[in-house]
């Protein structure tokens, strides 16, 4: 069974590959080291050993990429993480801003048996509280095409689909203004020169966001 450390490296590698837009290119060592929270030297030696286990392809000084086996393992970890997050919110009533931290620990401790009980209890959900897709037990998650809130024109009506940040402070802000996944809203104004976009969630006061914040909110236009 892969160690907790291996699981963490693979998970972050997967997120970096997907985060880096479509060509799912090689990941730089520096980025991986920062994501996992170790020094560059540590990441190098760990990646070498992952490469020996055929979980990644590694080209020194070029970068690292998950193999098929590595991707499969990473998706299992991610599935655990995201199901646990949803479970903590829905069943135990934790706040969505704190469940990411909790799940970081539990994702390495939970058995398949317990995980599938949770999946059943929750009704086989396909997204977690942040709107991130929950990978199925085999295969890859299906990615919907989403638009960053940044790119919405005034008067657009849309629905929040995903919030791509795990900072509790940001998540609490989002929650307070009614922009959690599922929320519908209308874009009131968008002035790129002022780096600002104002949206009005249905049933809430309008709120103005800078582009850094708006870029983290992915929406589905329409309805």
- Binding residues for DNA, per CB under 7 A? 3-6, 28-31, 36-49, 60-61, 63
Q: What number of CA atoms fall less than 13 Å from residue 38's CA on the CB side?
A: 17
- 139 interacts with a copy of itself by CB under 8 A: no
Task: Give the separation between CA 34 and CA 23, rounded to whole angstroms.
Answer: 21
Closer of 34 and 114 to a copy of itself (Cβ): 114
28 binds, among DNA, a copy of itself, none (CB under 5 to 8 A by kind): DNA
- 171 interacts with a copy of itself by CB under 8 A: no
Nearest distance in Å: CB 88, a copy of itself: 7
Question: Using an 8 Å Cβ cutoff, are 34 and 20 in contact?
Answer: no
Could you list the beta-strand ranges (E) of the chain: 56-59, 63-66, 147-148, 157-163, 184-191, 196-201, 207-210, 217-221
Interface map 104-123 toward a copy of itself (x if CB under 8 A): -xx-xxxx-xx--xx--x--
Task: Give the separation between CA 177 and CA 169, rounded to whole angstroms.
Answer: 13
Catalog residues that contact a copy of itself under the rule CB under 8 A: 88, 91-94, 98, 102, 105-106, 108-111, 113-114, 117-118, 121
């Amino acid at each position: 069974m892969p160690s907790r450390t291996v699981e963490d490296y693979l998970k972050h590698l997967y997120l970096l590959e997907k985060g880096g837009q479509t060509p799912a290119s090689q990941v730089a060592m520096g980025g991986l080291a920062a994501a996992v929270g170790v020094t560059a030297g540590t990441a190098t030696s760990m990646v070498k050993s992952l490469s020996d286990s055929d979980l990644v392809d590694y080209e020194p000084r070029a970068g690292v990429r998950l193999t098929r086996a590595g991707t499969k393992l990473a998706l299992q970890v991610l599935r655990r993480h995201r199901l646990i997050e949803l479970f903590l919110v829905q069943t135990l009533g934790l706040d969505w801003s704190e469940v990411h931290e909790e799940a970081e620990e539990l994702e390495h401790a939970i058995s398949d048996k317990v995980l599938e009980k949770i999946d059943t209890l929750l009704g086989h959900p396909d997204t977690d509280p942040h709107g991130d897709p929950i990978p199925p037990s085999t295969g890859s998650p299906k990615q919907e095409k989403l638009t960053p809130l940044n790119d919405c024109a005034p008067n657009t009506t849309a629905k929040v689909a995903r919030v791509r940040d795990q900072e509790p402070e940001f998540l609490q802000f989002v929650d307070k203004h009614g922009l959690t996944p599922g929320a519908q809203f209308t874009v009131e104004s968008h002035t790129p020169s002022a780096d600002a976009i104002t949206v009005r969630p249905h049933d809430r006061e309008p709120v103005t966001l800078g582009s850094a914040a708006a870029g983290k909110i992915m929406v589905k236009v329409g309805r």
